[in-house]
């Protein structure tokens, strides 16, 4: 029975909305920025403490951490929970937290290496979202970024994620062999939601029949 959905994504593909919509329809728990908050809670850290330390961190080192520590670049602007934590230990903590989340089941997990950590689980469905540059640029501008900001983010966020995975997990990002579905979101978020639910249904129809049926009524 499919009990876990992981969503990995290129920056600017609307993953926060898609993940939230699917979680709401299935009645599952969403883990996106919530993972950042959980790690910060465990470390007893606050955003203010992070801001006071930013200039003391190597810029490349800090970018690698932010690439995975931020909840969602599309919806949050500050990293949290970095105090006293280097990138190597952060990578280990991601695996620990994601694995524990998965044990509870009925969850949608965005990023944080979840497809890799949960690759052996038969109850997990893994999705990768991508889109042409122009589509991602449009989406980033629509959420309030300037053209220069959008171009800068699109130029570095995914490369930073790939660098983090390569350095701390010795894997290439994205690894297409991890995913049950790789989906171009150019056709729209609602279509992406429907296709993901249909894919889950085909792999395990007993779980999401009601959610898909409700969406088509």
Q: Compute the average pLDDT of residues 63-68.
A: 59
Query: What is the per-residue pLDDT for 78?
Result: 47
Q: Give pTM, 2 decimals.
A: 0.79
130 phi and psi angles, rounded to 5 deg: -145, 170
pLDDT at 180: 96
Percent with pLDDT over 70 in the chain: 72
Q: What is the overall mean pLDDT for the chain?
A: 80
* Cis check: omega of the bond before 151, within 30 degrees of 0: no
CA–CA separation, 107 vs 170, rounded Å? 26
- 27 backbone φψ class: left, alpha, beta (φ>0; ψ -120 to 50): left
State the average pLDDT over residues 196-209: 79
Question: Which range in 74-83, 85-94, 152-161 is most confidently predicted, on average pLDDT?
Answer: 152-161
**pLDDT at residue 55, rounded to an integer:** 36
CATH 3.40.50.2300 given to domain 4-197: no
């Amino acid at each position: 029975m499919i009990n876990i959905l992981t969503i990995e994504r290129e920056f600017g593909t609307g993953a926060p909305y898609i993940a939230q919509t699917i979680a709401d329809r299935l009645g599952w728990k969403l883990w996106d920025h919530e993972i950042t908050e959980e790690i910060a809670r465990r470390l007893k850290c606050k955003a203010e403490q992070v801001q006071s330390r930013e200039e003391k961190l190597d810029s490349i080192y800090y970018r690698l951490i932010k690439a995975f520590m931020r909840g969602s670049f599309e919806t949050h602007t500050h990293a949290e929970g970095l105090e006293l934590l280097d990138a190597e230990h952060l990578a280990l903590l991601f695996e620990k937290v994601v694995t524990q989340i998965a044990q509870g089941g009925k969850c949608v997990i965005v990023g944080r290496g979840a497809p890799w950590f949960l690759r052996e689980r038969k109850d997990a469905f893994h999705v990768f979202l991508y889109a042409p540059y122009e589509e991602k640029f449009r989406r980033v501008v629509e959420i309030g970024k300037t053209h220069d900001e959008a171009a800068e983010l699109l130029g570095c966020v995914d490369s930073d994620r790939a660098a983090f995975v390569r350095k701390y997990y010795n894997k290439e990002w994205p690894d297409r062999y991890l995913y049950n579905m790789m989906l171009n979101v150019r056709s729209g978020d609602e279509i992406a939601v429907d296709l993901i639910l249909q894919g889950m249904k085909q792999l395990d129809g007993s779980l999401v029949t009601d959610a898909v049926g409700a969406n088509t009524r």
